Amino acid sequence: MTTPRLLPARGPLRLLALAQFGNSVGDGAYYVTSALYFTHVVGLSPARIGAGLTVAWAVGSVVGVPLGRLADRRGPRGTAVLLALATGAAVASFLVVRGFVPFVLSALVYATAQSGLSAARQALLAGLVAHEERTGALAHLQATLNAGLAVGAALGGVALHQGDRAAYLAVFALDAAAFVGCAAVLRRLPAVAPAPAVPGDRLAVLRDRPYVVLTLLNTVLLLRMPLLSLGIPLWLTERTQAPAWLVSALFVLNTLGVMAFQVRTTRSVSGLPTAVRALRRSGVLMLVTCAVFALSALDAGPWVAAAVLVAGSLVLLAAEMLQSAGSWQVGFDLAPAGRIGEYQGFFGTGVTVARTLGPLVLTALLVEWGTPGWLVLGGAILVASYAMGPVARWAERAGGAGAPCSAPAPATA
């Protein structure tokens, strides 16, 4: 794999990728150390950590929509810079909080700023990249994201090996600094002219029924996200004979696979028809994935179970990349010009909902139901993937949001 396939050409997209890489390095370190930091250093119980983060992300996902609208109206570059700085400040505050209430307040700022930053960056990308190139651009950013997460997770692993308070504090300081660096890189991008306000259009996305249904369906498809972090580890340790270290190997396999092949996979998606086909293929592959993972529980020895799990993870990788490419195209194409931030803020709530409710759903299906649970999960994703096509056509017929939008012209920096 050559560098150009992973790194965008010089210009705004490369700067966006560098910003993405910077904050994903910090996030990767945060993800692997935060649970132990909040228990061992802050002194919170796992139940309180879970409750606080659930409340924070629930609020953050809702506030992300008006923050996306703010990016449309005030300009996405300035909004993204401020939200990146706010995220860094929230992470830095974790260094000093030592109680439940301060922890929840910091988590609220963190989740809200993260949600808004995601929407603002999508609006910024839409303003700097031509309509027909956006899905490919997002593929580059996804590959960069995975590279950053891998580097950050390795750094977090060093902190876990050290296991002391200083190591954890260093990780959180790194994450805060990464968001400051992200803001500095975003500031170097050309400014995008704000979209003019339209009377009576406040939070119009909530009245766009086809887009709301698309977001709900996409949330079902995103139940694949907690599989690697929760569903498969629980299944592997509770229901199979495979060695526990395979959990880490499967995560690395997925991360490297997305880095290597997401851009190539996305080249087949160039409009709504190809996006719908990609989503249908993804749904079929997810059903196959679930069936293969279910077979890993057969009493055939640890290495057979491990081989089956690796095979299922490879099919999952293909399904994930197709689903990402298809949903990116649908989410952008059906958002009207001048409301990209608002619509992407709403579409992005699917990620938060999947990450919040996904653990509960996967625990019930996989741990309690076992093999039938895998088939229920795969069937639900298959149905949702096939439903995306008719709903996308409904959105097109509805007009306005259904029409592909052209990118706003960059303003003078």
Please state, in angstroms and as integers, the Cα–Cα distance from residue 171 to each residue in 21, 89, 180, following that order. 16, 14, 15
For the chain, how big is the Rg over CA atoms in Å?
21
pLDDT of residue 202: 65
For residue 155, the Cα-to-chain-centroid distance in whole angstroms is 21
Do 155 and 29 contact (CB within 8 A), yes or no? yes
pLDDT of residue 324: 92
DSSP 220-250: HHGGGHHIIIIIHHHHHHHH--S-TTHHHHH
Structure tokens at 266: 């996305």
| H or E stretch covering 320 | helix 302-333
pLDDT of residue 320: 94
Give the whole-angstrom CA distance, residue 63 versus residue 57. Answer: 10
Q: 3-class SS at 410?
A: strand
pLDDT of residue 7: 62
Give the whole-angstrom CA distance, residue 183 versus residue 22. Answer: 10
Please state, in angstroms and as integers, the Cα–Cα distance from residue 392 to each residue in 213, 232, 407, following that order. 9, 31, 20
pLDDT of residue 353: 85
pLDDT of residue 198: 59
Give the whole-angstrom CA distance, residue 331 versus residue 346. Answer: 10
Would you give per-residue pLDDT tens digits along the chain (413 residues)? 344 455 666 788 889 888 888 888 888 888 777 877 888 888 888 778 878 888 888 888 888 888 888 888 888 899 999 999 999 999 999 999 888 999 999 999 998 998 889 888 888 888 888 877 878 888 888 888 888 888 887 888 788 778 788 888 888 898 899 999 999 999 999 888 887 765 556 667 888 999 999 999 999 999 998 887 778 888 988 889 998 888 878 877 888 888 888 888 888 888 899 999 999 999 999 999 999 999 999 988 999 999 999 999 999 999 999 999 999 889 888 988 778 888 888 888 888 888 778 878 888 898 889 899 999 999 999 999 999 999 999 988 875 443 433 333 333 33
pLDDT of residue 399: 59
Give the whole-angstrom CA distance, residue 385 versus residue 391. Answer: 10
Please state, in angstroms and as integers, the Cα–Cα distance from residue 175 to each residue in 90, 116, 180, 202, 294, following that order. 10, 18, 9, 34, 37
Signed CA dihedral, 231, 233, 239, 241: sign only: positive
pTM for the whole structure: 0.78
Signed CA dihedral, 295, 299, 300, 303: sign only: positive
Give the whole-angstrom CA distance, residue 378 versus residue 365. Answer: 11
Give the whole-angstrom CA distance, residue 140 versus residue 321. Answer: 12
pLDDT of residue 77: 92
pLDDT of residue 398: 79
Q: 3-class SS at 153?
A: helix
Do 342 and 204 contact (CB within 8 A), yes or no? yes
